[in-house]
C-alpha cells in the first residue's frame, strides 16, 4: 500500500461534535491510531487544534458538511494543511458506519493520498462573498416587503403607487407613517411630499 503521509489526521464533523483520528506509521510501517472526540464551541475547537499541533500533525482532512466545517476550517487554516473534501469522495466506509470509522477512514485516505481537496478561496475572498450574498438577500427581502406594502395599499384602495414611483422613498415613508398614525386627510398626506413629488400634489390629493 502506497503511503503519501506518514502522519496525518481525519475529522468527522457534526453539529455538536468533531471526532478526530490521528494516524501515524512507525519505523516498521505499522499503523497506529489515536481517536478523540471534541465539542464544537470555540474553546473545544482550540483544544482540537492544540491536540493536533502537540502531535505535530501536518495535514488533516474534513468533509464539507453543511456549514459545520467552516469554523473548523477557519481555525485550522494557517496552522496546518487542511483538505476540505467532498463527502462523496470518502463516504463509502467499509463495514458498519460510525463516527469513529468515518474519521479513521478519512485519515487512511489522506495517508494514501486518495483524497482531492475542494477549492477554497482565500479568506478575503470568502469574507467578500459572505458580504455580497448577505447584501443580495437583504435587497431581495426589501423588494418582498415593498411588494407586500403595495398590495396592502391597493387592497385599501390607496393609490399612492400610481403617483409616487417609489412608495418607500422619503415622501412615501412619511405618508405611510402618517397613515398608520391615523391621519386620513388627503391634503395633509399630500403635503408630506418632498422634492419633485410636490409637482404632483393634485394627483396625490
For the chain, residues with pLDDT lower than 70 are 1-3, 87-100, 112-114, 117
pLDDT value of residue 88: 65
pLDDT value of residue 96: 46
pTM for this model (two decimals): 0.61
Q: What angle do CA 60, 56, 42 make, to 5 degrees?
A: 60
- The domains of the chain, with CATH numbers, are 7-120 (3.30.420.10), 124-204 (no CATH)
pLDDT value of residue 3: 65
Q: CA 107, CA 149: separation in Å to the nearest integer? A: 55
What phi and psi values does residue 19 have, to the nearest 5 degrees?
A: -100, 120
Residues 6+ positions from 85 with CB-CB distance below 8 Å = 61, 62, 63, 64, 106, 115, 116, 117, 118
**What are the CA-CA distances from residue 157 to residues 110, 162, 166, 198 (Å)?**
66, 11, 17, 21
Amino acid at each position: 500500500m502506497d503511503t503519501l503521509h506518514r502522519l496525518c489526521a481525519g475529522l468527522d464533523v457534526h453539529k455538536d461534535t468533531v471526532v478526530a483520528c490521528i494516524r501515524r506509521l512507525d519505523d516498521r510501517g505499522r499503523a497506529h491510531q489515536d481517536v478523540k472526540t471534541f465539542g464544537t464551541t470555540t474553546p473545544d475547537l482550540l483544544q482540537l487544534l492544540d491536540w493536533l499541533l502537540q502531535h505535530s500533525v501536518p495535514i488533516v482532512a474534513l468533509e464539507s458538511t453543511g456549514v459545520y466545517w467552516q469554523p473548523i476550517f477557519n481555525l485550522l487554516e494557517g496552522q496546518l494543511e487542511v483538505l476540505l473534501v467532498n463527502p462523496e469522495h470518502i463516504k463509502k466506509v467499509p463495514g458498519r458506519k460510525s463516527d469513529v470509522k468515518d474519521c479513521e477512514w478519512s485519515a487512511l485516505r489522506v495517508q494514501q493520498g486518495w483524497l482531492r481537496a475542494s477549492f477554497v478561496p482565500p479568506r478575503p475572498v470568502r469574507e467578500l462573498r459572505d458580504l455580497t450574498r448577505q447584501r443580495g438577500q437583504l435587497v431581495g427581502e426589501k423588494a418582498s416587503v415593498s411588494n407586500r406594502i403595495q398590495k396592502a395599499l391597493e387592497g385599501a384602495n390607496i393609490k399612492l403607487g400610481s403617483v409616487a414611483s417609489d412608495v418607500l422613498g422619503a415622501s412615501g415613508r412619511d405618508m405611510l407613517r402618517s397613515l398608520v398614525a391615523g391621519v386620513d386627510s388627503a391634503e395633509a398626506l399630500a403635503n408630506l411630499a418632498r422634492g419633485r413629488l410636490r409637482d404632483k400634489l393634485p394627483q396625490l390629493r
